[in-house]
Structure 1
């Protein structure tokens, strides 16, 4: 057990519960969103502390988690009594109907209903501009690019594909270590499809999970609904492990459990819309696939994004420097060999260090103006082996052993199914 981490979380829990009491006092005993968020965060910390302890101490934190969740539910019901009563009605109707879906007319009414939880400004932020680069700008990832490119070629052929009885893939799940280029390849994919009229929506877990419980559910519902409304459209959710958490995880909070259920329900409705040729593509991405609910993993095509191989690293260095500096005593291949195990983020850091060293060298000899630029263009100053090694020595790559171990365990688990 990491006692330092336990102490830090304990202090954070105390600070949050004290803040909740202070907020309630400031609002004259009336429930507020700020108070609810304090208890929500406190419950999450209790969940962490419960998993880090054993015996009576673990039971204590489970009890504290339940108390925080109960307080949060009371506050939520005070703030949104209409939502609470609607949930009770839906629960009763589901019980009587044997868990059948609600009446289609009620569903349609719910689909068009808008609320103050999700503002128009928030929705507009989800829609992104064309990233401006396609598959040609992506180093390596040959198999992934081939898969996504086949999807691009299938666009506009839905009727023929359906007639021939060919399967169509509309949902992908990208996983791999941090900094391996998941977001980059998704944006390249989006660019290719935007050339054919697709819109591009992109959200992170933080855009959803930082909200008060109940609000997060509405944001998820709205995101899927907007994607279908704006078809053809790509809906990209990064860090999806924070939105669709594995329900088998110990001490998963009530609101995270509910958020996962909401996400899966929305995804099912989204999949049905695609059966009507709505042309909406969902992509989820995570560094921690084992934390995602298995029901979600069963519904998407799993795509592993590995660390950049040697060819990809060579391409990356070449692409960053070939137009601004010449080499002397070192090759792109040797730079790639020297960065074995580096992710794209590491390579970007090393490249940045090289450029800073070049700038320092140039400014000392030529100043910072046109003469310095000309020295690079003419090859008076070049990227040498010594410069590369100095840049490498001044950077420590991010640790990856723990992440890779968990990813390998996930791979083994998937292969055994």
Structure 2
């Protein structure tokens, strides 16, 4: 209470002084009041009017060209290797502000100094290599994504087996509008605003979204229902609005909603069934409003994943919000073969192991099931001999006997039928 009274007195004094500054401006025309803040909405509205703070200038997140100029400024006294391309580094640093770029240059110089001090060569000039900048970027994160997302995705398309057609559709929907924005503008094509991935659990829906974000080199914001549901009224909606605001400031960016059915459940009616249903309806209303507001924003794409598409409110499943609804099926034999090769890349396999044969025998196994199968085969080899140096066919045979697929034929057929008729439309 005392703090509020003190703030009110300070605001009142400032208003009086600024109103009195009009008379002084005739005698002292060079007196100008300049203020800065990172919480403009917290300022008393009485100050934000003509005659006091007449104009407001927003200092936004720097663009690629501005990031390049900032990097050149902070690295002008550094010795850069001829292979270092600051233009490429500026493209990496989407969402970075000036302080982040200064910290990036400092971290890259520190890594270069550590590398030089560990080398045996004397009198060598401290030179920053491209590897130093890449390592520094993994350490220095953009300020805009702190507190909203955990970490930037590092999954690539090569880490996902099969699903070639689906990956191609995601590339066209997510990568092309960001990397080829000029081509879209030239033809007057409106980019996809939202993509919903649905399918059985364990079929790489979340991994596909992360791979798309990594390939597009966009700022990545990830939210789940557990983060948005709070015991405090309005906190989840505020987090949702703040995430979209940060995404707009650091565009191009991707907002990813995992388990979208928890964030946007079907509305049950005017009263709702329970307190949780009411919270879900408020979150859904906020999400609908924010997605409609993306019409004025460029370079922002919303991705969502669910294994219960029928539980999502129909208001989201229309063009203009989730423009694309893509079904992620369980992998076929070729896809299972690729997944097995991916998960055994770091394993030493015996000559008798035939991954193609294992793929044929693991029908209905999802990507998560196949990952567990490879791990179980490795554990079988260790249980047999702790000093084992390779994994053989017998170990995979034991793993297949001990594991069962997550899905049944009925579940797959139901999901496939839902994909044909679609939760909203055919894709």
TM bin, normalised by shorter chain, reads 0.5 to 0.7
**Structure 2 match to 1:358:** 381
Distance 1:319 1:159, change over 3 A: closer
Change (3 A) 1:222 1:291: same
What is the aligned partner in structure 1 of residue 368 from structure 2? 345
C-alpha displacement of 1:261: 1.3
Could you say what secondary structure the match of 1:295 adopts? Answer: coil
Measure the CA separation in 2 of the matches of 1:142 and 1:347: 18
Q: Secondary structure, in 3 states, of the residue corresponding to 2:357? A: helix
Question: Normalising by structure 2, what TM-score?
Answer: 0.59
**1:295 offset after TM fit, Å?**
1.1
Displacement after TM superposition at 1:167 (Å):
3.7
Matches within 5 A, 1:18-417: 113=41, 124-150=146-172, 151-194=174-217, 198-247=218-267, 251=273, 253-269=277-293, 271-274=294-297, 278-298=298-318, 299-300=321-322, 301-363=324-386, 366=387, 372=388, 375-376=389-390, 382-384=391-393, 386-400=394-408, 404=412, 407-408=415-416, 410-411=418-419, 412=421, 414=423
Deviation digits for residues 129-186 of structure 1, max 9, x if unmatched? 3432311221111112112223424424324422312342132111111110011111
Counterpart residue number, 1:49: none
| Cα contact 2:365–2:407 (8 A) shared by 1 | no
Question: Greater Rg, structure 1 or structure 2?
Answer: 2
Offset from partner CA, 1:60-82 (integer Å, 9 cap, x none): xxxxxxxxxxxxxxxxxxxxxxx
Counterpart secondary structure, 2:239: helix
SS for the counterpart of 1:189 is helix
8 Å CA contact 1:128, 1:200 repeated in 2: no
Q: 1:20-77 deviations in whole A, cap 9, x for unaligned?
A: xxxxxxxxxxxxxxxxxxxxxxxxxxxxxxxxxxxxxxxxxxxxxxxxxxxxxxxxxx
Q: Which residue does the alignment assign to 1:100?
A: none
Alignment length, in residue pairs?
A: 281
Normalized against structure 1, the TM-score is what?
A: 0.61
Secondary structure of the equivalent of 1:294?
Answer: coil
SS of 2:316's equivalent in the other structure is: helix
Change in Cα spacing, 1:326 to 1:351, as seen in structure 2 (3 Å) is: closer
RMSD of the alignment, in Å?
Answer: 3.0
The answer for unaligned runs of 5 or more in structure 2 is 1-38, 44-142
**Any gaps of 5 or more consecutive residues in structure 1?**
1-110, 116-120, 367-371, 377-381
Task: Report if aligned partners of 1:325, 1:383 keep a CA contact under 8 Å in 2.
Answer: no
Partner of 2:28: none
Deviates more, 1:389-398 or 1:338-347: 389-398
Paired with 1:221 and 1:305, the residues of 2 have a C-alpha distance of 29
Segment drifting more, 259-268 vs 397-406: 397-406
- The 1:307–1:267 alpha-carbon spacing in structure 2 relative to 1, beyond 3 Å, is same
In the aligned structure 1, how far is the partner of 2:145 from the partner of 2:343? 35
